[in-house]
Amino acid sequence: MSGEPFEALVVRRRPGSVSYSRQIEQRCVDELPAGDTLIRVRYSSLNYKDALSATGHRGITRKYPHTPGIDAAGVVEAGGGDRFGPGDEVVVTGYDLGMNTAGGFGQYIRVPSEWVVAKPAGLSLEQCMVLGTAGLTAAWCVHRLCEVGVEAGGEPVLVTGATGGVGSLAVVLLARAGYRVVAATGKVAEAAYLKQLGAAEVVGREDVRDTSGRGLLAERWAGVVDTVGGETLNTALKSTRFGGAVTCCGMVESAELVTTVYPQILRAVALLGVASAECPMATRLMLWDRLAASWDQGLMDAITTRCMLNELDGWIDKILAGQVRGRIVGGLDG
C-alpha cells in the first residue's frame, strides 16, 4: 500500500514567480502526511477556501506543492484508530485538511482518526459532499440563531450570498425550519432557483448594502446568515431588529468590517462568528445528524453540479469569479 500510485490535483509555485500552476499528477501513498487513517476518497467538493489555497493564498496554505480539498468522503483503507476499520464509509471536513495537509482533491488522504466522522445514516457519500463544509457551516449558523432566540414564524431572516454553497444550504435549512427567508444575491436571474430552495423573497445584493454612513437603519430582520462580509455585513447589523442576531461565516465581498457599536448598545444585536473547520466533535456530530434528516433528492440535484477530478481546475477559476451556483461535487474515481 505504501507505494500505491494515485491521482491528485497538485498546486505548485512557479520558480522565481509569485504565480501558481495546477495540474493532475501521479502521487504515491507514502508521500502523504502522517496520520493513523488512510482513506480512499470517492467524492470531494469545491469551497471558496479551496480556490484560495489553489491560487497561493498564504493565509490558507503556506507550503507548496500542495493538494487542496477541505472536504472528503470515502472508505477507510487502513488504520482508523479505535473507531474505524477498513471498509468503513467516512467523511472528513475541516481541521487542517486541504490547508497544509494534502486534501480531498486527491484519490487518497491520510489524517488523524480524530478528524473522521462516520458517514451519517440516510446519506450517500456523494450527498455528504453536497453538504460538506458548506452544510456544516450553514447548519451551525442556523443553530446559533436558534440558540439566541431568533424564532421561526416572526420577522424574516436574511441570507446574503444566497446562491453560493453556504447560502444555498442556509436557505434550505431555514425554510425547512419554518423561517420566512429573504435571499439576497447578485444573480437576480437565479430567483427561481432560490425560491425552489425555499426562499419566500429574493432581493438584489444592492438592496441589502447601505453606504450612507448611518449608524442604524430601519429594522428589517429577525436574524441574518451573512456569507460575504464587508459592507453587506455592516448593513445587516444596522438593519437587524432589537434582540436579533447576525451570523458571520464568509468574506467573499471583503474581510474588512467598518462599523459602529450602535447595533449592539442600542438594539442588543448579537454578532456571532461561525468557523466550522474547528467545530468541536460533539457539535459536529449533532449538526451531521440534523443535516442527514429527510433530504429530497430533487433538491439535492438542484443544488449540485457534478464533475470529475480533472474538471475541478476550471471550476476553481469560476468560483473565484462568482460564477458558481450551489455546490460543485467532484468524483474521484474517474
- CA dihedral for 205, 211, 212, 213, sign (positive or negative): positive
**Residue 321 is placed in which grid cell?**
469569479
Report residue 1's pLDDT band, with 50, 70 and 90 as the boundaries. low
Residue 313: phi, psi to the nearest 5? -55, -45
Report residue 2's pLDDT band, with 50, 70 and 90 as the boundaries. low
pLDDT per residue over 162-211, tens digit each?
Answer: 999 999 999 999 999 999 999 999 998 999 999 999 999 999 999 999 99
Q: pLDDT averaged over the chain?
A: 94
Question: What architecture is domain 5-119+300-331?
Answer: Alpha-Beta Complex (3.90)
For the chain, how many residues are written? 334
pLDDT at 88: 97
pLDDT per residue over 31-74, tens digit each?
Answer: 999 999 999 999 999 999 999 999 988 889 998 999 999 999 99
Q: Answer with the residue of higher pLDDT: 332 or 16.
A: 332
Query: 132-276 falls under which CATH superfamily?
Result: NAD(P)-binding Rossmann-like Domain (3.40.50.720)
pLDDT at 324 over 80: yes
The single-letter DSSP state of residue 189 is G
**Residues in a beta bridge with 7:** 26
DSSP string, 275-324: -GGG--HHHHHHHHHHHTS---HHHHHHHEEEEEGGGHHHHHHHHHTT--
pLDDT at 318 over 70: yes
State the average pLDDT over residues 136-165: 96
- Where exactly are the structural domains of the chain? 5-119+300-331, 132-276
Q: What is the pTM of this model?
A: 0.94
Report residue 151's pLDDT band, with 50, 70 and 90 as the boundaries. very high
